[in-house]
Amino acid sequence: MKWPMQIALAGALALGGCSGQTPLAGSGAAPPPAAAFSLSPGDKLKIATYGEEALTGEFEISPAGTIAFPLIGDVKAAGLQPEELSKAIEAKLGDGYLLEPRVTVQVANFRPVYVLGEVNKPGEYPYTQGLTIRGAVAKADGFTYRANEKRVFLKRAGEADERVYPMTADFPVLPGDTIRFGERYF
């Protein structure tokens, strides 16, 4: 009776070590790199300065890629990770305004995604961490009866043109993406 339990435990331990491997070919797209989640215009941030209530609040990244922060003015935010932005604010606050400022930056809301074409409710939807193409279709109440479910047209934020990709359930969606589903012909 002990052997089946030991075999099951050994199998679970062996499979647990595989979690850091890259996906097998044909299993879908790999997850997006961390750089894909860098801050961009339209993102809403929660910024807290320890011990300074007047320097704590919610800020939105402007179309110019900056936030207007009290005392120090415009701070470049677009293209940075939240940790990098907190360091930049700390550096500016420490330059004659505060002694040893401590700042934390969290993303309150990423910019939305847009789901268009042959879905039941095309429109703008809030981005959630880990969103996939199938998740975006679910937010838009599913495909219409005319939808081509074998390919998807995707335009990433900052790119000029949309690209065609084969439809896979685990294809990652990034903040600001425009997803379009075409019509099937048969």
Between 1 and 174, residue with greater pLDDT: 174
The token pair that represents 155 in the structure block? 């335009």
Average confidence (pLDDT) over 125-131: 91
Tell me what the pLDDT averaged over the chain comes to. Answer: 82
In this prediction, residue 36 carries a pLDDT of 58
- Whole-angstrom Cα distance, residue 127 to residue 124? 9
SS3 of residue 32 by DSSP = coil
Between 130 and 67, residue with greater pLDDT: 67
The token pair that represents 150 in the structure block? 């074998």
- Whole-angstrom Cα distance, residue 147 to residue 179? 13
Q: Where does the pLDDT of residue 35 fall: very low under 50, low under 70, confident under 90, or very high at 90 and above?
A: low
Average confidence (pLDDT) over 110-135: 94
DSSP 8-state secondary structure symbol assigned to residue 39: -
Average confidence (pLDDT) over 10-27: 37
